[in-house]
Amino acid sequence: MIQRLCIIGVGLIGGSLARALRQAGACEEIVGAGRDPAHLQQAVDLGVIDRYETDIAAAVKDADMVFVSVPVGAMAAVFSALKDSLSDSAVLTDGGSAKGSVIAAAEQAFGQVPAQFVPGHPIAGIERSGVAASIPDLYRDRRVILTPLPRTDGGAIARVRAMWEATGATVTEMDPVHHDEVLAATSHLPHVLAFALVESLARLHDKREIFEYAAGGFRDFTRIASSDPDMWRDICLANADAILAMIERFSTDLQVLADAVRDHDSDKLQEIFTAAKQARDGFANTHLAESE
Amino acid sequence: MIQRLCIIGVGLIGGSLARALRQAGACEEIVGAGRDPAHLQQAVDLGVIDRYETDIAAAVKDADMVFVSVPVGAMAAVFSALKDSLSDSAVLTDGGSAKGSVIAAAEQAFGQVPAQFVPGHPIAGIERSGVAASIPDLYRDRRVILTPLPRTDGGAIARVRAMWEATGATVTEMDPVHHDEVLAATSHLPHVLAFALVESLARLHDKREIFEYAAGGFRDFTRIASSDPDMWRDICLANADAILAMIERFSTDLQVLADAVRDHDSDKLQEIFTAAKQARDGFANTHLAESE
């Protein structure tokens, strides 16, 4: 049971965590923190948080669990603002989509990464954002990856794990570097491709007509291009190396496909498309049966 | 009212047309044609067609409307097989996703493109295929593009238009070259990117883990990679020039984005992502309000 949870950044991710823990009866009091009082008041009005502070140091005082869910580019400033007020017995965790940069931000703010900090990442993004979109079931049957360091306190890890399990999520642990590579492949690259495609098409002179004739496949394929630009700018900056490596790999593979189109290489096209369909069908069958 | 409709290639597209016209009472008799008797018998058993022929010349005899929905690479062979049996008063149309190549196939088979041939393309693909997946509502509120030539008979165009309108579709006309460019942008490029991404990820050594941590965004983004490989191989060969041009354009734009990631160019990333989100949100608001 968490006595006082402080959520810094009460948007979709933080708000949904609050709603889930409340519904599970896993939390006594929830204090929100952020820069915008109107936004925080909305979270109070929606029943997502009990009260709020716009001063981060005041917000974390006496909290036994602090969850930071701000864009990864803002983590360093938040850690600096809270470090002198964080109780020694409190657990600090976050929801950033790139772990290497968040760990570096913690090291920068605290001098060394504190043992009470458990880097984490709930994999439940949807393209909506904001506290009004938060729901208690966002994490149900989703995955949360924790990326503790060797020096991270085992008790702190257990408490963060218990918090996420109370939301209905499945919690696993992973090395932070490996996390960033896996997410670059499964999440960051697809988002980059979707943004790049839509932006590219939007500059075509007949874009009105282009979008008019787009069908369901296009709609699904480009849905993630409606994601929050600020958040994704930060992720691209925070996980730049792994994302660049994936873009380069993809670009090379796309050129192989383009060469096959140019050469009218029927066998090669068939081979690529068949391998892709098999992998996608296998993915759908093993992991997504319930939601396809 | 169509007296006898002959559908060559009774899969998702042809089967759904049959079901829609039957439901609308717009067709007396439906004859299926194809190579596989077991498959055609299934279509009879499902009530999609009344009877079938495996000989194309026999199938089109006395039909007043002939709809060819085979992969675009098989169009030339089908046109050759039917040309001597097609009634002078019959209308011939097709459902190919690339019109230039289908028109070239008709010219090759007939000597010149017959005035009774109305090239068409129903934009209603879903990633499933086969007659068992066919539904009467596949074309409801969808678009069908006709790409007649100057020599195409006006009465033939009107009859094809009436057929598609009976399914609930909205019919528009377009120049074939322009159709192929628009579809390369909105459909063929996204499919190519989805196939390329999934195939690329499936070759990563830790692909099991990659797919395990993929979330909803990945699921939506890659759904079209489950499309029929044969069909998409044919489309890439049939619309190679327009698709290549779109791949090259996209690759250049992706490199601009990669450069921004490499240079930590926050403003450029923000600009690209914001433009993409605006275009995608606009697209969703104007065209997809009912299904998002």
* Tens digits of residue pLDDT in B212-244: 888 777 888 888 999 999 989 999 999 999 999
Interface test with A, best of B72, B187, B201 (most A CBs within 10 A): B201
pLDDT digits (tens, 9 = 90+) for A108-138: 999 999 999 999 999 986 667 889 999 999 9
pLDDT digits (tens, 9 = 90+) for A178-207: 999 999 999 999 999 999 999 999 998 777
Do A159 and A106 share a structural domain? yes
Residue B99: name the closest of B26, B184, B6 by CA.
Answer: B184
User: Is the CB of B237 less than 8 angstroms away from the CB of A292?
Assistant: no
- Minimum distance, in Å, between the CA of residue A289 and any CA atom of chain B: 11
Per-residue pLDDT for B289 more than 60?
A: no
Amino acid present at A103: I
Q: Tell me the C-alpha distance between A164 and A20, whole Å.
A: 9
User: What is the b/e burial string over A179-210, where b = at least 16 CB atoms within 10 angstroms of the residue's CB?
Assistant: bbbbbbbbbbbbbbbbbbbbbbbbebeebebb
Stretch B254-264: mean pLDDT: 97
Measured at the CA of A170, the angle between CA A166 and CA A172, to 5 degrees, comes to 120
Name residues of chain A where pLDDT drops below 50: 288-292
CB proximity list for B40: less than 8 A, separation 6 or greater? B10, B32, B33, B34, B49, B52, B54
Partnered with residue B172 across adjacent β-strands are B145
DSSP string, A275-290: HHHHHHHHHHHHH-TT
Do B63 and B86 share a structural domain? yes
Q: Which of A130, A159, A174 is the last residue of a domain?
A: A174
User: Is the CB of B217 less than 8 angstroms away from the CB of A142?
Assistant: no
User: Is the CB of A186 less than 8 angstroms away from the CB of B210?
Assistant: yes
- Minimum distance, in Å, between the CA of residue A62 and any CA atom of chain B: 35
Do B16 and B36 share a structural domain? yes
Interface test with B, best of A195, A255, A267, A285 (most B CBs within 10 A): A195
Per-residue pLDDT for B290 more than 70?
A: no
Task: For residue A208, give both structure tokens.
Answer: 């009105």
Across chain B, mean pLDDT equals 93
Number of domains, chain A: 2
Q: Which of A131, A157, A174 is the last residue of a domain?
A: A174
Q: For residue B135, give the CATH number of its domain.
A: 3.40.50.720
Domain that holds residue B188: 178-287
Do B233 and B194 share a structural domain? yes
Per-residue pLDDT for B146 more than 80?
A: yes
Q: Which of B174, B203, B223 is the last residue of a domain?
A: B174
Residue A284's pLDDT is what? 73
Task: For residue B110, give both structure tokens.
Answer: 């007939």
DSSP string, chain B: -EEEEEEES-SHHHHHHHHHHHHHT-EEEEEEE-S-HHHHHHHHHTTS-SEEESSHHHHHTT-SEEEE-S-GGGHHHHHHHHTTTS-TT-EEEE--S-HHHHHHHHHHHHSS--TTEE-EEEE---S--SGGG--TTTTTT-EEEE---TTS-HHHHHHHHHHHHHTT-EEEE--HHHHHHHHIIIIIHHHHHHHHHHHHHHTSTTHHHHHHT--HHHHHHHGGGGS-HHHHHHHHHHTHHHHHHHHHHHHHHHHHHHHHHHTT-HHHHHHHHHHHHHHHHHHHHHH-TTT-
Q: Tell me the C-alpha distance between A104 and A113, whole Å.
A: 8
Residue A286's pLDDT is what? 64
- Check if the interface score ipTM surpasses 0.90: no
Stretch B134-152: mean pLDDT: 96
> Cβ distance B72 to B42 under 8 Å?
no
What confidence tier does B127 reach under pLDDT thresholds 50, 70, 90?
low
Residue B81's pLDDT is what? 98
Residue B126's pLDDT is what? 67
Task: For residue A269, give both structure tokens.
Answer: 């096209």
Whether residue B266 is contained in a domain is answered as yes
In this structure, of A59-73, B117-131, B135-149, B176-190, the range with the lowest mean pLDDT score is B117-131
Whether residue B292 is contained in a domain is answered as no
User: Is the CB of A221 less than 8 angstroms away from the CB of B216?
Assistant: no
Residue A290's pLDDT is what? 37
Residue A125's pLDDT is what? 65
Percentage with pLDDT > 90 across chain B = 84
Do A146 and A64 share a structural domain? yes
